[in-house]
Amino acid sequence: MRCALVALLLASCVESPSTVTGETHVVAFDWPTHGVPQLDLLFVVDDTQAMAPYRARVLALGPYAAAALHDYTAGMPDVHIGVTTTSGAPVTSISDIHNNDGSRNTSYTGDLGDTLAAMLDVGAAGDAPQQPLEAIRRALSDTDFVRPDTNVMVVTLSAGDDHSLDSVDAYVAAVKEHTRYPITAGAYPMPSPRLDAFHTATADAWLGAYTTPLDAPGYGKAFDPITNIVIDFAEPCFEIGGGPAEPYDCSVAMVEDDVETVVPPCETTPTGACWSIVTDPICWTERGLGTTIDIRGYARLYRPHLVGQCVSR
């Protein structure tokens, strides 16, 4: 059974319909907004000479991370992705945000995996002791990168244990202060007492810490939180036998910023927002495949708040 992460929003199915009189059949619905999954992803990469032998494995995380993000059950989340170094370089970041029609608004050009690989290529010329925990604390205080009430994932890639000056407990507290539901992962030499303690203290309650030895063939395990934990939303739907039977007469309104806007049926509206009832493979109920209301102009997973009722005769 897959765990629900951070931002799990459960939208309920319609209750069993109430029969009015005779053969009239009324189904009322009040479906919450499908909020957009959001994630602020931070890579902390060792830029010392000791990390040089592992460069190829680090760069391979670029396309791996991009593929993992695109394969979210709910579709790719709105992401801020940042890279900093164990020596505390400023965060370099990009954003990839959805539009309501399902298209994306990106701050970069080209392929996401290639872009991330280039960002992760921080060099290996440094010789100062690694301070990944201090780098994490500094990056999480960057309000241009970290958004309020957004899920944060931190991936630490280091050729040595942490040598930051503050206590591990202080850095754990900083992560929990700046994030709603922190996810931490890492690849580093094991054992590394300080990094081990940090990841243990921020481990997932069900699935444990997401860490892997630095000399592992690849660092894909660091992205197990993306493949094992779902930022997802249950699809609101009419259950089999519980939805409106054709022919039906529906009244549908979108609620945005506390304002209701009546939406016409698509069969009478050639352009603009309209509704239609469609069979949806995501809308799976205990009784089989159900139907849902699709609003033209919105990607279904990012649908606005809908209220109304359907009457079948």
Residues 160 and 212 in one domain: yes
Count other Cβ atoms within 10 Å, centred on residue 259: 8
pLDDT at position 246 is: 60
CA 295 to chain centre: 23
Q: pTM, whole model, 2 decimals?
A: 0.74
Residues 64 and 156 in one domain: yes
Sign of CA dihedral 82, 83, 89, 92: negative
pLDDT at position 304 is: 84
Q: At which of 174, 206, 230 does a domain end?
A: 230
Q: Which domain holds residue 285?
A: 3-35+235-312
Cα atoms found within 13 Å of the Cα of residue 121, Cβ hemisphere only: 9
What span, in angstroms and rounded, lies between the C-alpha atoms of 149 and 2? Answer: 23
Residues 158 and 188 in one domain: yes
What span, in angstroms and rounded, lies between the C-alpha atoms of 171 and 164? Answer: 9
What span, in angstroms and rounded, lies between the C-alpha atoms of 197 and 73? Answer: 31
Indicate the number of domains in the chain: 2
Residues 212 and 263 in one domain: no
pLDDT at position 142 is: 86
Q: At which of 165, 195, 230 does a domain end?
A: 230
- CATH value at residue 166: 3.40.50.410
Q: At which of 198, 230, 262 does a domain end?
A: 230
pLDDT at position 16 is: 37
Residues 200 and 285 in one domain: no
Residues 245 and 113 in one domain: no
Residues 193 and 274 in one domain: no
Residues of the chain with confidence (pLDDT) below 70:
1-23, 35, 72-75, 206-207, 227-235, 239-247, 281-282, 284-287, 300-301, 313
pLDDT at position 133 is: 98
- Dig out the tokens for 203 from the structure: 């481990």
pLDDT at position 7 is: 35
pLDDT at position 5 is: 36
The residue written with tokens 């690694």 in the block is 130
Q: How far is CA 1 from CA 30, 77, 181, in A?
A: 28, 21, 20
Residues 218 and 72 in one domain: yes
